[in-house]
Structure 1
């Protein structure tokens, strides 16, 4: 999903047309939610963690002492703001969404480089 979000943001005509930045934010948030599920399952040592997104964020905040958990929490909150449409608010810019995508991608790369264990 992150790759699709990046492709959408990097499309020559797509990134400046319509709601492509918001769509990329939705895709990135879905990817972040999958990463949060995986990280919570790893921290709790169970195959699947059931619960609301806020409950999972609380698990990350209390059990994950790494910077990776904080990156996921911050990204989820920011992307949630980007995904919601209000008539009185401006849409997120491509640069704002790209920054969140890059932060999440960096966190994923750090996790991969450490063999599945966050630092």
Structure 2
């Protein structure tokens, strides 16, 4: 079962900012990468829901293709922001031996972008 998008973003926030009295044993970089994966999943789920309403065949294409086609249905600035945040989260989710994980501050900034995008995209279909 996949959490609804608000559950995914809340779980990401919980990883980035633990509640008082909670101490994690995992490194901040590991938690940041896990939070990035949750945020990317929230974007993917919202994008799939959007395309189910617009063109169900698009749900079978890659995330990059969906994001590139988005500009036809929403404002160019929203489409560009979506693609930029989705690309950054995609890169952050992949472990490369020669690269450092994303910092919690980077993922917090993406978290704010995701929250904004999740509220903007459904409003474009009204």
The answer to whether residue 93 in structure 2 is matched with residue 86 in structure 1 is no
Hey, what's the Cα distance between the residues in 2 that align with 1:33 and 1:53?
7
Hey, what's the Cα distance between the residues in 2 that align with 1:10 and 1:2?
12
Higher relative contact order (CA 8 A, sep 6+): 2
Q: 8 Å contact 1:60–1:69 — kept in the other structure?
A: yes
Q: Could you say what the CA RMSD is over the residues aligned between the two structures, in angstroms? A: 2.7
Residue matched to 2:5:
none
Match of 1:101 among 90, 99, 111: 111
The answer to whether residue 14 in structure 2 is matched with residue 7 in structure 1 is yes
Alpha-carbon distance, 1:55 to partner: 2.0
Normalized per residue, the structure richer in helix is: 2
Partner of 1:49, secondary structure, is: helix
TM-score calculated relative to the size of structure 2:
0.75
Q: Structure 1, residues 30-54: CA drift from partner, whole Å, max 9, x if none?
A: 0011122123334x35497321212
Match of 1:41 among 40, 52, 55: 52
CA gap of 1:78–1:89, structure 2 versus 1, over 3 A, is same
Alpha-carbon distance, 1:66 to partner: 4.9
Q: Structure 1, residues 63-110: CA drift from partner, whole Å, max 9, x if none?
A: 332533322211110001101111111110000011001111022234
CA gap of 1:58–1:107, structure 2 versus 1, over 3 A, is closer
| Corresponding pairs, count | 115
TM-score calculated relative to the size of structure 1:
0.78
CA gap of 1:20–1:39, structure 2 versus 1, over 3 A, is same
